[in-house]
Structure 1
């Protein structure tokens, strides 16, 4: 059973990594962006579920998977529901949530597999944990500033 869950986890994780990129690089309108975004979110749901199951089954070795999964899926949920509900500042929330969740899945992928990747296996594990956030946070800020409406300056001087 564990190997089946792991297979689902890996397959949906790969789908998330790919569709997250495709959605991120496609035009931000209905069509490819929303299709890849939907696939990303629902695949992420399966990654989350499988990570939680595996973490519970092997808590001593894998408790950190539970916490990564919980935090990063919470970001994906936030990004997903912000676009569905269109609340105030929904676009900023959507961008931050979805890109934050992508940082989470990249972090988990690197941490779990770093010992198998040449050159990366020589980097201290703390750097592997922090690298996606260090690289991804400025990207979130840049993209967020591109899509966030600019405030109009008051034309009247008092």
Structure 2
């Protein structure tokens, strides 16, 4: 529900200043699609569901953070000292190594346990 609200907000903000905020529609749409794929594969338990769920949800979050920093980074303390291109790449630079770590930790496990790693 929250991500749907975010997408509606992105649409409203982009319509107010299309020339400078069109990217919010693209990033919001990407985040919604990635989250839906991750949720659907986990819900249906299709083959490879764990990896698809982790990748979908993680990349959705990275897309949301990217949209936030691209739109708000120039007005945030410390972030305003960075070049604008950094707002596009820093969320991925931080998030992708964490995604790889999560995949290594959880994918390939044969147990039917949860993602919490309990009992390890």
Q: TM-score range by the shorter chain?
A: 0.7 to 0.9
Question: Are 2:60 and 1:65 aligned?
Answer: no
- Which secondary structure state, in structure 1, belongs to the residue aligned with residue 46 of structure 2? coil
What does residue 92 of structure 1 align with? 51
| TM-score when normalising by structure 2 | 0.83
Distance in 1 between the 2:83 and 2:48 partners? Answer: 38
Could you list the runs of 4 or more consecutive aligned residues of structure 1 that deviate by over 4 angstroms after TM superposition?
none
Higher relative contact order (CA 8 A, sep 6+): 2
Distance in 1 between the 2:29 and 2:54 partners? Answer: 19
Contact 2:23 2:67 (8 Å CA) reproduced: no
Query: How far is the alpha carbon of 1:85 from its aligned partner?
Result: 1.2
Question: Are 2:10 and 1:51 aligned?
Answer: yes
Distance in 2 between the 1:97 and 1:134 partners? Answer: 17
Query: How far is the alpha carbon of 1:128 from its aligned partner?
Result: 1.6
Structure 1, unaligned runs of 5 or more: 1-41, 152-158
Distance in 2 between the 1:90 and 1:118 partners? Answer: 39
Larger Rg: 1
Query: How far is the alpha carbon of 1:47 from its aligned partner?
Result: 0.6
Distance in 2 between the 1:56 and 1:120 partners? Answer: 25
Query: How far is the alpha carbon of 1:49 from its aligned partner?
Result: 2.3
Distance in 2 between the 1:56 and 1:88 partners? Answer: 40
Structure 2, unaligned runs of 5 or more: 111-120
Query: How far is the alpha carbon of 1:44 from its aligned partner?
Result: 0.8
The aligned length equals 110
| TM-score when normalising by structure 1 | 0.64
Distance in 2 between the 1:67 and 1:43 partners? Answer: 17
